């Protein structure tokens, strides 16, 4: 039986929000089994917002949670790191409205979690096992989930740029694949859109230190970490958004040019329609794989 996990000790970091540009101090703390991921605004009397699809707020360039008018913004990279390292329970304290962007990927969060250490808890982990397929379409955007024995994600993007074009990346989240193939992939943006986005106040914290910046025919800040880093980052985002179902998933996700709004639409449908899945423990090597990968990465850094 696989058990729930939390971190062993508190860890923290400082950074700025990609969209707000606001300075923020973030601290991750261990949490009791069954609590899930809980965000806490220390600047607002420790107001707490659970990381669940029921609290999803407006979603455009990033995923935000809102409860009673209190906002937590850009949750997807940290939530992705929790899924990738097998953390079920944690408290995330922040003293501002947006999570820090750090280097634009999930790797700094993974490093923090590995530095804190992972602690197995008594309670068996219950997975969301997909029983029936669900497909959502919106124009040329598509996202679907199908039954599977493991958690697999396939993503396709299509940008008219010499370095991107049509790219597909498929990954099964076992054997350390998340840490090796997904966590280091950084967010990206196009220089020709930057001025307009900056004027709308959408990327106040963006810089060449925390995003891949694409010029009309190349890169402003080479090198890439992977030749197909762009589509890998979309996989990272998708995993972080789907974490809002509140469980590890056993299912195969297929997305084509989906984006945060469709990711969270899938979460809402899954939470609303309980005939699509059941809750089950797991007798399998997924969690051991996470730990083997964690040991491997901590040895290499």
Q: Which residues pair with 163 in a beta bridge?
A: none
- Show contacts with Zn ion in window 159-188 (CB under 5 A): 187
CA distances from 148 to 101, 153, 277 (A): 32, 11, 11
- Show contacts with Zn ion in window 252-271 (CB under 5 A): none
Which of 199, 203, 175 is CA-nearest to residue 189? 203
Asked if 74 touches Zn ion (CB under 5 A), the answer is no
**Whether the Cβ atoms of residue 17 and residue 99 lie closer than 8 Å to each other:** yes
- Show contacts with Zn ion in window 85-144 (CB under 5 A): none
Number of residues that bind Zn ion (CB under 5 A): 2
Q: Nearer to Zn ion by C-beta: 237 or 256?
A: 237
Query: Within 13 Å of residue 37, how many CA atoms lie on the same side as its CB?
Result: 28
Q: Nearer to Zn ion by C-beta: 203 or 286?
A: 203
Q: What is the DSSP string of 139-203?
A: TTEEEEEE--SSEEEEEEEEESSTT-EEEEEEEES-TTHIIIIITTPPPEEEHHHHHHHHHTTS-
Report the residue closest to Zn ion, judged by CB: 237
Min dist CB 75 to Zn ion, Å, is: 10
Tokens of 15: 């950074």
Q: Nearer to Zn ion by C-beta: 72 or 286?
A: 72
**Whether the Cβ atoms of residue 179 and residue 80 lie closer than 8 Å to each other:** no
**Whether the Cβ atoms of residue 24 and residue 17 lie closer than 8 Å to each other:** yes
Q: Nearer to Zn ion by C-beta: 116 or 185?
A: 185
Min dist CB 77 to Zn ion, Å, is: 6
Q: Nearer to Zn ion by C-beta: 2 or 260?
A: 260
Q: What is the DSSP string of 257-276?
A: S--HHHHHHHHHHHHH-TTS
Collapsed DSSP state (helix, strand, coil) of residue 102: coil
- Show contacts with Zn ion in window 9-48 (CB under 5 A): none
Binding track, positions 216-255, relative to Zn ion; x by CB under 5 A: ---------------------x------------------
Q: What distance, in Å, lies between the first and last C-alpha atoms of the chain?
A: 30
Using CA atoms, how far apart are residues 107 and 116, in angstroms rounded to an integer? 14
Q: Nearer to Zn ion by C-beta: 234 or 290?
A: 234
Min dist CB 273 to Zn ion, Å, is: 27
Min dist CB 137 to Zn ion, Å, is: 23
Min dist CB 132 to Zn ion, Å, is: 29
Min dist CB 104 to Zn ion, Å, is: 8
Among 233, 260, 263, 290, the active-site one is: 260
> Catalytic: 233?
no
Q: What residues line the site for Zn ion (CB under 5 A)?
A: 187, 237
Q: Report the catalytic residues.
A: 260
């Amino acid at each position: 039986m696989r058990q729930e996990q939390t971190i062993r000790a508190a860890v923290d970091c400082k950074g700025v929000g990609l969209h707000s540009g606001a300075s923020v101090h973030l601290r991750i703390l261990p949490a009791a089994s069954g609590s899930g991921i809980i965000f806490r605004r220390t600047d607002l009397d420790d107001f707490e917002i659970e990381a669940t699809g029921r609290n999803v707020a407006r979603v455009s360039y990033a995923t935000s949670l809102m409860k009673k008018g209190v906002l937590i913004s850009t949750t997807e990279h940290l939530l992705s790191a929790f899924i990738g390292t097998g953390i079920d329970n944690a408290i995330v304290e922040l003293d501002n409205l947006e999570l820090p962007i750090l280097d634009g990927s999930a790797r700094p969060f993974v490093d923090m979690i590995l530095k804190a250490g992972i602690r197995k808890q008594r309670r068996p982990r219950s997975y969301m096992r997909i029983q029936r397929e669900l497909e959502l379409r919106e124009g040329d955007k598509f996202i679907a989930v199908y039954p599977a024995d493991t958690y697999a994600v396939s993503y396709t993007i299509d940008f008219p740029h010499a370095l991107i074009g049509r790219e597909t990346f498929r990954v099964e989240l076992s054997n350390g694949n998340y840490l090796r193939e997904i966590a280091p992939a950084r967010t990206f943006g196009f220089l020709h859109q930057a001025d307009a986005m900056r004027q709308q106040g959408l990327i106040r914290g963006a810089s060449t230190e925390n995003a891949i910046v694409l010029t009309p025919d190349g890169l402003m800040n080479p090198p890439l970490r992977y030749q197909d880093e762009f589509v890998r980052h979309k996989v990272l985002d998708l995993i972080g958004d789907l974490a809002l179902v509140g469980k590890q998933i056993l299912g195969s996700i297929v997305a084509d040019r989906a984006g945060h709004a469709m990711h969270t639409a899938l979460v809402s449908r899954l939470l609303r329609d309980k005939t699509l899945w059941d809750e089950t423990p797991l007798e399998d090597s997924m969690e051991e794989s996470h730990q083997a990968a964690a040991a491997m990465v901590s040895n290499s850094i």
